[in-house]
Structure 1
Amino acid sequence: MSTEHRSAAETGRLPLSPAQHRLWFLQQFDPESTQYNVCLGYELRGALDVEALRRALTEVVARHDALRTSFPAERGRPGARIKPPGEVPLPYVDLASQGGDAAEFAAAQVARPFNLAAAAPVRANLLRLGEQRHILLLEMHHIVIDAWSVQIVTAEIGELYAAYVKGEEVELPLPQAGYADYAAWQSGLLGGEYLEREFAHWRERLLGAPAVLPLPTDRPRSVSQTLAGGELPDAVPPPLAVRLRGLTGELRSTMFVTTVTAFMMLLARWTGAYDVVLAVPVAGRSRPEFHATVGFFVNTVPLRGDLSGDPSFRQAVAQVGSATLDALEHDSLPFDMLVDHLGVPRDPTCNPLVQVGFQLLRTPHRAQPARWHDIEVEEWDGVRQQVTRLDLELHVLDTAAETVETLLCYRTDLFDGSSAENLLAGYQSLLAQVVADPDLPLSKLDVSPRRVTNEGTRSGAGADTTENGGM
């Protein structure tokens, strides 16, 4: 962080980024809300050095200003105050002796709201499950963290822990910039001619776009949204995943474009709407000096698919691919600023402009657990945050040549679990059809809920398993 910003941080006069300001406002609107709490869990197996872990966590928080930032308000306007480095509390909870349940403990922690004005939005707990089995819980508010930042924090804890266990001192390279530098840079960017050009671009791209996608929900929308969510994991059968990659290469496309195009075509058949706008998260780190900075950088861009005229999958991939490149070239404009500028009516029952999200994550397959020195480390799946901020979110996990996994998140006040299962089965069915014949027009795609077997064929009531016979 620059000297100027560090001096301002001591008095709480640092500005927030537009994304931070939005989360701060939402927290003021509902101080007890936990929808933006982020809870991470790591299972640690082996002879754990608790003091080395405590030192590593303290050093990581000291390295990253965002993790020591509180957000006090003055005259109704928030500022950022960065607290000096200090030891990070790491309460040690012996669940093995107490007979407690780790999942219940984690649920109670993530249900505690953060006081953004008074405290740094980071909490940590170490749970003992046995002599050589622990769980490290980290809870943070989304206002200071995103998925990219999580990877930075996890990697640095592991590297520092290994050094401290061996009695070595390690000096990791300092981040080139702090989050306050990013907020200042973004503030300077979003003004004048640049801002007008971006507004003009998006006005043109979103002209006539539907305000709401007519999803066939199981229950009507309510003004009092619960945001309670369900999760449905699944996996694309390996033969289909391999052929999907082959088709992606044949179309000179990317896995993101082919999988999001298939999802758009599914939604078009499911809703009867052929103008589909999805929310797509972007990392927001276009400048290299921010690559090692912890903070809330992620932004949402609207991706519009024009599926009118009964296109084939091949044709739709070309259109969506062009729209994707265009959107990524104009991804710096904060989503809320765009919505406000477009004058999109605010409907308390749903998200403005986009109600469905899509994300492709490249997560390299790890055959063995990670290691922090002699400790085996794996993400702990006992953390459950059943919240979704959109009606539907499809996450595609691109892990290996033969492995493509999916996770469908859905609002449980709108959809039954059976509807989510049908939608995900329809997605796999559609993938199987377009892989078999990418020139099949949209109107001929069958999106009924038929499972795809490991042989790559579709099964279910009325399924014609000879249709995709080469899979």
Structure 2
Amino acid sequence: MTGRLSPTQQRLWFLQLLDPQATEYNVCVGYELDGRLDVAALRRSLSAVTDRHDALRTTFPAERGRPAARIRPRGEPLPLPLTDLSGLPDAGARAADLAAERVARPFDLARDPLFRADLIRLDPARHILLLNLHHIVADMWSVQIIFAELGTMYDAAARGREAGLPLPAARYADYTAWQRDQLSGGRLDQALAYWRERLKDAPAVPDLPTDRPRSPERSPAGEELLTPVPAQVAKSLRRVAGELRCTMFVLTLTAFLLMLARRSRTGGTVVAVPVAGRAKPEFQDTVGFFVNTLPLRVDLSDDPEPGRAVERVRTAVLEALEHDMVPFDLLVDRLGVPRTPGCNPLVQVGFQLLPTPRRAGRVRWHDLEVGDWQGVSERVTRLDLELHLLDSAPEVIETLWCYRTDLFDAATAERLSADYQALLAEIGNG
């Protein structure tokens, strides 16, 4: 079966075509499986999940010079190679090395299965399951769907039963058809008019000091810095958010934009903010690439006090969400955004708040206890600088900074993190 790509998929297809060895859009997650593992049941469960979602069976060959979405038939088993490291004293380190090798392996979008699984045995009662996907077929919401369904499938398979999961309410092809319908007619023109005005004269490159000059040959090499927000500050921020009648997303984004404005001495930095893109209820349990990027621009160059800054950011966010129907790639194309060598179009800085509720104990899959494995490290970044806030509990927030190593030193990332933490504390005490 052959279908059409969404605009966001088309962009990733062309990027991979330009650099077939690129791995920035590989998505890799790992899970610890503790207990007596039924490997055959896990293999059947992975294949069953793949059968449920067309996106996981899709490849993207070129037809007459343009990409097409080709869906493989159901029933093809998903390979699950097993690497046995049991008995080795450095099994954990070797598992991390294997994960790094897997995530650094590029996908051939035209031929490769774009959903890969690997099993690593650390000892007879402890395994690591690696799932590696290309972003063109799945976003992080999709990864949560896969994990939940895999647990249900495995529990049933290990007991010799049918899982009985209902089929997803929609296929990804239904989303692409719906999106094409949304992008036809006057609604698209109105949304483009909003973005054209909002992004008028936006700088192609942010006025942020870097440790090295930007090169026309952009490198995706990146590093991460994870720093916890003090519990008392996290608690104070939630109180302030309530007093200002805003979400934690708006409050922490405001702090980020204030920091950028103070460092760049301009208020025009465009920040990439991802949105889920699952506008209809039937898309909630569908695996696919739904995420869209909103290029948010708020002028805080006059360094307003936090309350006034929050009001500007809240207004800008609400307006942007009202016009989020335009895929970022179509927006760049229709607005004629100039291209600068070594830069992404329009946005070089990103922000995201991720609710990551901590599980009460580990998830149970029949005889297994399953939890996240922290051994996956991707070490690539799609933007110059990204800030991800991991919101785990009322008093547990962490800042995860991702930065391009050809632009920023580790010491600079540490200073950015310290400045942001100080600003959060200032807002929390305000």
Superposition pairs of residues 5-404 of structure 1, within 5 angstroms: 9=1, 12=2, 14-85=3-74, 86-96=76-86, 101-404=94-397
The answer (yes or no) to whether the contact 2:207–2:269 under 8 Å persists in 1 is no
Q: Percent identity?
A: 61
Q: TM-score, normalised by structure 1?
A: 0.88
**Amino acid aligned to 2:377:** R
> How big is each residue's C-alpha offset from its partner over 1:289-314, in whole Å with a ceiling of 9 and x where there is no partner?
11110000101001111214331111
> How big is each residue's C-alpha offset from its partner over 1:128-167, in whole Å with a ceiling of 9 and x where there is no partner?
1101000111111111010100000000000111111122
322-331 or 271-280: bigger deviation: 271-280
327-336 or 361-370: bigger deviation: 361-370
**Amino acid aligned to 1:129:** L
SS in 2 for 1:407: strand
Distance in 1 between residues matched to 2:281 and 2:360, nearest whole Å: 30
Distance in 2 between residues matched to 1:108 and 1:276, nearest whole Å: 35
SS in 2 for 1:143: coil
How large is the Cα RMSD of the aligned pairs? 1.3
Distance in 1 between residues matched to 2:270 and 2:20, nearest whole Å: 31
Distance in 1 between residues matched to 2:20 and 2:403, nearest whole Å: 24
205-214 or 155-164: bigger deviation: 205-214
The answer (yes or no) to whether the contact 2:224–2:379 under 8 Å persists in 1 is yes
204-213 or 55-64: bigger deviation: 204-213
Shift of the alpha carbon at 1:371?
Answer: 1.7
207-216 or 129-138: bigger deviation: 207-216
Distance in 2 between residues matched to 1:241 and 1:33, nearest whole Å: 37
Which residue number corresponds to residue 420 of structure 1? 413
**Amino acid aligned to 2:255:** A
Distance in 2 between residues matched to 1:191 and 1:94, nearest whole Å: 53
> How big is each residue's C-alpha offset from its partner over 1:305-349, in whole Å with a ceiling of 9 and x where there is no partner?
121433111100011001111111111211111112222210122
> How big is each residue's C-alpha offset from its partner over 1:149-196, in whole Å with a ceiling of 9 and x where there is no partner?
000000000011111112221210111111111112112221221221
SS in 2 for 1:275: coil
Shift of the alpha carbon at 1:393?
Answer: 0.4
SS in 2 for 1:185: helix
Distance in 1 between residues matched to 2:160 and 2:303, nearest whole Å: 66
Distance in 1 between residues matched to 2:215 and 2:269, nearest whole Å: 23
> How big is each residue's C-alpha offset from its partner over 1:10-46, in whole Å with a ceiling of 9 and x where there is no partner?
xx3x111011111111111111222211111111111
The answer (yes or no) to whether the contact 1:396–1:406 under 8 Å persists in 2 is yes
93-102 or 174-183: bigger deviation: 93-102
Distance in 2 between residues matched to 1:402 and 1:97, nearest whole Å: 40
> How big is each residue's C-alpha offset from its partner over 1:198-257, in whole Å with a ceiling of 9 and x where there is no partner?
111111222232222111000000111111111000111011111110000000111000
Distance in 1 between residues matched to 2:228 and 2:104, nearest whole Å: 30
Shift of the alpha carbon at 1:276?
Answer: 3.0
Greater gyration radius? 1
**Amino acid aligned to 1:242:** K
With a CA cutoff of 8 Å and minimum separation of 6, indicate the structure with the bigger relative contact order: 2
Distance in 1 between residues matched to 2:105 and 2:424, nearest whole Å: 41
SS in 1 for 2:200: coil
SS in 1 for 2:136: helix
Distance in 1 between residues matched to 2:220 and 2:174, nearest whole Å: 33
SS in 1 for 2:269: strand
> How big is each residue's C-alpha offset from its partner over 1:107-127, in whole Å with a ceiling of 9 and x where there is no partner?
221222212112321111111
Distance in 1 between residues matched to 2:137 and 2:374, nearest whole Å: 23
The answer (yes or no) to whether the contact 1:213–1:273 under 8 Å persists in 2 is no
Shift of the alpha carbon at 1:400?
Answer: 0.9
Which structure 1 residue ranges, 5 or more long, are not aligned? Answer: 1-8, 438-471
130-139 or 109-118: bigger deviation: 109-118
The answer (yes or no) to whether the contact 1:213–1:355 under 8 Å persists in 2 is yes
Distance in 2 between residues matched to 1:188 and 1:231, nearest whole Å: 40
Distance in 2 between residues matched to 1:151 and 1:157, nearest whole Å: 10
SS in 2 for 1:213: coil
The answer (yes or no) to whether the contact 1:278–1:356 under 8 Å persists in 2 is yes
SS in 2 for 1:96: coil
The answer (yes or no) to whether the contact 1:235–1:406 under 8 Å persists in 2 is yes
Shift of the alpha carbon at 1:63?
Answer: 0.2
Which residue number corresponds to residue 462 of structure 1? none
Distance in 2 between residues matched to 1:346 and 1:290, nearest whole Å: 33
Distance in 1 between residues matched to 2:428 and 2:106, nearest whole Å: 46
